A and B are shown apart, each in its own frame.
Chain A
Amino acid sequence: MVYLKIKRQDESREWYNSFEIEETAGMTVLEALFYVQEHMDGSLCFRYACRGAVCGSCGMLINRVPRLACRTQVGIAKKENTREGSDDIFVAGQKSEEENEIILIEPLSNLKVIRDLVVDMDIFYNLVDSIKPWISSPEKHPEGGNLMSPDLREKIEKYTNCILCACCHGACPVAAKDDTYLSPATLAKAWRMHLDSREDDASRQERLDFVNSESGVWGCDLVYKCVAVCPKKVPPTMGIKALREQIEKNKEK
């Protein structure tokens, strides 16, 4: 048996509901939520799509750590401290001393809640889109495609692995204080686009100027919380530092 303590919310109120469910072998938190929704309380809502940690839909706070529900095992989460009552956001679960059997599930932090575990992702998407996150390549491609060295590819890949789940946004202390802060994922993407040899120089420069601000790379406290929570091992802080260096280097010229 395991208890899910789920934060509920609608336009007018907030409350917690506890559900007692039977844990099956290998059960994920997402599966547990489906069990509740299908058999116990049809009004519960949450987002999902792939159940395989690739679509980025199911970011939420599990024991106050931003993570993907589909990638979090019930068997592991129930042995953690729920950290109920804390206002802090943590980057990893903490093994609890005594038998716990309770999992605390809440909506992702730093985004407005629409209902239950569904948050307003448009806030996050708009931040990401603000850096024009696309390669401005010319309409015609070179015969046989562009060439790219495996080394460069490897550098970029770390950042393209981002699934835009917003877990990093939920963990970021700067995003918590400042809703104009571009977000770790956005800045990671900016660096991804910057690195790409197919990007044209004008767009690269425009993006660099755009993130050269207090809402951009200079807002970051370099506390690496985003790196710690990312389910895809994307290192936003490294991207932010690299962007800062690039900006400084350009100044010297």
Chain B
Amino acid sequence: MIEHDIIVIGGGLSGLRAALEAKKHGADVAVISKVPPIRSHSVAAQGGINASIGSDDSWDSHAYDTVKGSDYLADQDTVEILCKEAPERVYEMENWGTLFSRTEDGTIAQRPFGGAGFPRTCYAGDRTGHNLLHTLYEQVLRSGVRIYNEWMVTRLATDSNRCTGFVALNLLDSELETFRAKAVILATGGYGRIYQRSTNSIINTGFGISLAYRAGVPIQDMEFVQFHPTTLWGTNILITEGVRGEGGYLYNKDHERFMDKYAPESMELAPRDIVARSIQTEIDEGRGFPGGYVQLDITHLGKELINERLSGIRQICIDFAGVDPIKEPIPVQPGHHYSMGGISSSKDGLTPLDGLYAIGECACISVHGANRLGGNSLLDTIVFGKRAGEHAANAVKNIAMPSEYSLNESLAEERSNIDSMMGDSGESFADVKDELRQTMQKYVGVYRNREGLETGLASVKVLEKRGEDIHVKSRVRAFNMELMNVLEVKGMLDIARVITEGALVREESRGAHYRTDFLERDDEKWLKHTLAYLKDGEPKLEYKDVTITQFQPKRREY
């Protein structure tokens, strides 16, 4: 049994920021991660991070944009924290070495992003996530936090409403081990890969969210799934909103700048949900190019600007689509991008289960509501990562190490779970996974309606049944990819089920959740958060109020 006062599960931005803060407060803290921290999905973030550091900008204005962008589903008390603490968190990252882009006078440069009233997005070229994550990792190394690389956490242990630690699989030899802690911080990222088309890393399966869900923790607002308007046709690698921020145009096959039909004021810089639906409509109504895409054109921006500010994007287009955006438009289509929902947690990352925190994309502190603004999730990771780390470091001072009993029990359960998964016949994980991803894309995607959601739900239930019969055929010990995948596919099924049920019940359109059979937002019935609990193997939905402080819900127009 391995022991630390605090163990952070996940080495992305949120996890590292939490670990660093806990360490600064003197706690004994470790990070455990299925990939080395710098390989985490955070490294892929391109466009930037929001903070109202501009001289005529203010945190209020940032908060207003965030709340409006969220279609009024965000909790305004946590949004206030997010926006107020943003400048300090960004300056801190700068001071630790993040290579932010600069203005001529040497201050941090900011670019406009969709849904924002000011150019508020700080960036490091189009490699913001890479620069932030490497910087934070360097500082974590400096601080001496212990890191367990290439371990997959498979089960949380609990003892009378307290998280006591977890069981993890050492990928190096497929052995299970127990980890005991006074506080556990989940920072396991999003679940993009349950969709067929996603900008997310292949490792983003959402398994961490299902760990909490299975431990009885509610997961919140899961039906709100962000689709990014511009993903590279084919691989669905992200083409950052920064490209439109720098002045890119969207064209359909008739060379119409079609955004003037949907958002005449903000055009290409309307919020993501609106642009994604506009593109999808163009494609669905036959104005896309063969194969289902539209064009994002930046040829008019010129070679120099593209090479200076969008060189990463240029390289992606050349490597993965054979298109040089200096010379030709980029083929793009909408794809899953961000998970607004997640483990229900509070302003310090606390979940309803004592000793368990959740932060970053796996959590729902509800700063993004029904639709996240670009540049706000990187911010979310470091603001709430810091708060959770600090809170946990103070909390563990007065808590004794839990007894080993619940951990030994969990270990025995997980052993028998894995033993029962070994076998030479049965379903293949790849088939179940592929069908799940297609189902979600088709029925629980950009546009939703009752009929489609019911069909989707029925398919997910069938896949859950088939999932019980998936077996791991390979007996290799070091890096048994089949075993890792089988464990994760089961978690993906949990999440798909909750998203689909939540979407079916929510009979309104709000932010990223768009029902063609209920086109309007319905504040009377649906200005509330969805909470899903696992009860007897099925999700049970409950609802809770949204916190509204300064901004009363208004119609959202751009």
Contact = CB atoms under 8 A, between A and B. Distances in A.
B107 interface: yes
Interface string A137-148: 100010011111
A148 B124 CA distance: 13
Interface residues of A, number: 55
Interface of A: 10, 25-26, 28, 37-39, 42-57, 71, 114-116, 118, 121, 125, 129, 132-137, 141, 144-150, 153, 156-157, 160-161, 163-164, 196, 198-199
A50 B138 contact: no
Interface of B: 35-36, 38-41, 43-44, 53, 90-92, 94-97, 99, 101-108, 125, 127, 130-131, 134-135, 138-139, 141-142, 172, 201-203, 234-235, 237-238, 315-316, 319-322, 428-430, 472-476, 478-482
Contacts of A196: 97
Nearest to B291: A25
Given A38-B428, A137-B97, A145-B95, A49 B202 contact: yes
A25 B320 CA distance: 11
Contacts of A157: 99, 125
Contacts of A163: 38, 43, 130
A43 B39 contact: no
B38 A56 contact: yes
B105 to A, nearest CB: 7
Given A137-B95, A145-B95, A145-B107, A45 B476 contact: yes
Given A52-B44, A52-B320, A160-B131, A45 B481 contact: yes
A114 B130 contact: no
Contacts of B428: 38-39
Given A52-B237, A121-B36, A134-B142, A42 B473 contact: yes
Contacts of B235: 26, 51-52
B94 A145 contact: yes
A136 B97 CA distance: 9
Contacts of A136: 142
A160 to B, nearest CB: 5
Given A48-B202, A49-B35, A55 B44 contact: yes
Contacts of A51: 201-202, 235, 237
B105 A147 contact: yes
30 contacts: A10-B478, A26-B321, A37-B481, A37-B482, A38-B429, A39-B428, A42-B473, A43-B474, A44-B481, A49-B201, A49-B202, A52-B201, A52-B238, A54-B43, A54-B127, A114-B172, A115-B476, A116-B479, A121-B36, A134-B138, A137-B97, A141-B94, A144-B53, A145-B91, A147-B105, A150-B103, A156-B99, A160-B99, A161-B130, A163-B38
